[in-house]
A and B are shown apart, each in its own frame.
Chain A
Amino acid sequence: MDNLDYIESYFTKSPGLAETREFENRIGTDPAFAEEVAYYLSVLQVARQDAQEEKKRHFKEIYQKQRFTASVPVRKLVYYIAAAAVVTALIFGLYVFVQPPSPQQLAKQYEQANLQSLGVSMSGNSDPLETALGVYNDGKTSEALSMFEKIIQADTSYYTAKKYAGIAALRLKKYDSAIQWFEALDTYTGLHSNPAKFYLALTLMERNQSGDIAKAKDLLQQVVQDDGEEREIAQEWMMKMQ
């Protein structure tokens, strides 16, 4: 370990002429020492590559979460449009014969299926947002909401925290608060993917006060037009709410 300490000091501090000469002499005359230098640098290389692979995996998770809907190759688009037409026809056919669920039921079904737990990164770092997501996933929604709100207080422009604060408020049926967070999220117009309008519609559908459903329909229409996040679900709901 003494040699490793010495090797590390050499590479991390700026060695003087005498130290450089001594270090290089040892490399030339002591094969075991040279092996240790090579080992130290090899591990550094492998550790660096591992760190980069981990980052790439993390980026992949973010990318998959945000689903780049427009990245479908054009040649496949024809098949998807045809499939969508068939699905639309089927949904329409079913609508004729089967009474569709109410907007509130649709919203609750979505919430149960998609918002009971939220994705956390595998990095294991101590990012407060990751900690709050862990608390949320443990079912402590109220506690998680307070944590998200604290994060936003510390950094008022942190849009991801606003999204999660809105979701937690929605789960707690604090609809007015959820709407405030999603409206705040909606002001970030330059994001390549922003689910604010969809979540606003979801909240309004679940709250179901006078005028809420009409507003939710407008928002869903915008999601479909803008090719926004959860476009397919927005389209399906619009059909069911006609």
Chain B
Amino acid sequence: MNSAGSFRYTDQEIIEQLRQSGIDKRRSEEELFNRFAYFIREGITKHALSEDESFNAYSDTLLAAFENINNAHFEARASLKTYLYQIFHNKCVDLIRKKTTNKNSVHQAEAISDKLMLLSDSARSVVQKLIDKANWNQLREKLGQLEEKCRQLLMYWGDNYSDKEIASLLQYKTADVVKTSRLRCLERLRKLYKVE
């Protein structure tokens, strides 16, 4: 419980849970959502956004924060509230500026940028060009056509869950089985993707 005596976890506990295990992580995401959900009202009153716009700005704020906390880009120099409010404020201002474009777009994930940085300039440029050619809509559609467990597995993988956590969540025997299953799912998806 924090100093206000109302919530179950301190900032530090939430940060640790967001960086760790599956169910605790999900619960702490919800906890964080509930704790600062009043930002949505501020988006409406202070920035004159609609309720939907303000909700989207707040959700995108949390998604960006989860990613930064997970990648250890968040250094905890400020409280979570201050940190989240800064992101939220910027998202609201961005929304006001670009009100006509793509209001409901989700937070743009940068899952692969860190991975691409592991490559030298020349190799990165080759891969980036190929990625730019990818048919994202088709890939997403084919991902949706996989059997549910496969889709769930890839989603948890995309969400940075470890193989051990995925094993526990989806009731696989071991982390190794998760890895083998994931590679099979990727193979199956590639076949579906190639057919088109």
Contact = CB atoms under 8 A, between A and B. Distances in A.
A210 interface: no
B155 A50 contact: yes
Nearest to A54: B155
B189 interface: yes
B51 interface: yes
A63 B6 contact: no
B152 interface: yes
B37 A47 contact: no
B: contact size bracket: 35 or more
Interface in B113-129: 115-116, 118-120, 122-123, 126-127
Interface string A134-157: 000000000000000000000101
Contacts of A38: 127, 130-131, 133-134
B195 interface: no
A52 B143 contact: no
A71 B51 contact: yes
Given A52-B106, A66-B37, A157-B8, A42 B187 contact: no
A145 B62 CA distance: 33
Interface residues of A, number: 59
A88 interface: no
Contacts of B190: 39
Interface stretch (A4-12, A78-86, A99-107, A176-184): A4-12
Interface stretch (A109-117, A118-126, A216-224, A232-240): A118-126
B111 A68 contact: no
A62 B143 contact: no
A53 interface: yes
A188 B6 CA distance: 5
B130 A124 contact: no
A10 B63 CA distance: 27
A24 to B, nearest CB: 4
Contacts of A52: 63, 106-107, 109, 159
Contacts of A189: 5-6
Contacts of A10: 118
B23 A127 contact: yes
B37 A63 contact: yes
A127 B122 contact: no
Given A42-B134, A54-B155, A4 B34 contact: no
A192 B122 contact: no
B161 to A, nearest CB: 9
A15 B190 CA distance: 25
A145 to B, nearest CB: 21
Interface in A29-68: 34-35, 37-56, 58-60, 62-63, 66, 68
A55 to B, nearest CB: 7
B106 A49 contact: yes
B83 interface: no
B135 to A, nearest CB: 9
A71 B111 contact: no
Interface of B: 1, 4-8, 22-23, 26-27, 29-30, 33-34, 37-38, 40-41, 44-45, 51, 54-56, 59, 62-63, 106-109, 111-112, 115-116, 118-120, 122-123, 126-127, 130-131, 133-134, 136, 139-140, 143, 148, 151-152, 154-159, 168-169, 171, 179, 183-184, 186-187, 189-190, 193
User: Nearest 5 pairs between A and B by C-beta?
Assistant: A190-B6, A47-B158, A38-B130, A51-B159, A48-B158
Given A43-B139, A126-B23, A126-B168, 7 more contacts: A23-B123, A42-B131, A47-B154, A48-B111, A124-B152, A189-B6, A190-B4
13 contacts: A4-B187, A5-B183, A24-B120, A39-B193, A42-B112, A43-B154, A51-B155, A52-B107, A68-B40, A124-B148, A124-B152, A125-B169, A191-B6
